A = this chain, B = another copy of it.
Amino acid sequence: MPEPSLAPPLHPYYPIEAQIVGYLANEWNTLELCSMFAAGCAAIFSVTYAVVKRVRPSTSASDLITILWFVLCGCIHLFFEGYFAYNFRRMGGMQDLFGQLWKEYSLSDSRYLTQDAFVLCMETITAAFWGPLSFVTAAFITIDHPLRHAFQIVVSLGQLYGDVLYYATCMFDHYILDLSYSRPEAAYFWGYFVFMNSFWIVIPLYLLCSSAGATWRAFEALDKADKILKGKAGAVNGSAKKRL
């Protein structure tokens, strides 16, 4: 009988000694799962595009792209990450589409299968807050609501901070504790963990700066209008004084 430490791992995840409750191997392969995920994103984009073009045909291209982004985020945060937050105790054995997608992604980060405190808390907040608020932001952009930029700043910073912490806690465990959660193949670490999550660094950072710039210009314009009005009032007072 082999030593327990020499026995082959019962799952494909790293670290190989990770405890994954009730693990069942995926039935769909990587290509099938990635294709289904891409098809889901394409469907979300198509429906959103059609709705926005109907509700407000005059929407600018940049606003339209931002709406598509926030609707995609809303769906991913609320449904996909919400699925994880709801099922976190039994992720290893989930065999429906979302379950298999999470098990595929977890090849790059096994914390999704091992009930990690930070990942669960961050994902729960993302699902409960940034998910619904992403839809609200998309709606606010569509109707050009005055709260649009405040919401865009809040949701984008929430995504950005969560993602930075997500990378940082993993890097800490990698460099300080010498503990890696990704399989050694470069495609998993660089393709899933780094590349997929980098969207939620780059795009929120751009949208955050863009909305901060818009509020800057808005308050500057109001200041100018205020000074012009005060100047006019001053001139009226001045000419009234001259008449007296």
Contacts and interface: CB of A to CB of B under 8 A. Distances in A.
A125 interface: yes
Contact of A212 (B154, B218, B223): B154
The secondary structure that dominates the A interface is helix
Nearest to A161: B161
Report how many copies the assembly holds.
2
A169 interface: yes
Interface residues of A, number: 41
A120 B172 CA distance: 9
Contacts of A148: 219
A51 interface: no
Given A146-B219, A165-B165, 20 more contacts: A117-B118, A117-B173, A117-B176, A118-B169, A120-B172, A121-B168, A125-B165, A146-B216, A149-B215, A150-B153, A150-B215, A153-B154, A157-B157, A157-B158, A161-B162, A215-B215, A218-B218, A218-B219, A218-B222, A225-B225
Interface of A: 115, 117-118, 120-122, 124-125, 146-151, 153-154, 157-158, 161-162, 164-165, 168-169, 172-173, 176-177, 208, 211-212, 215-223, 225
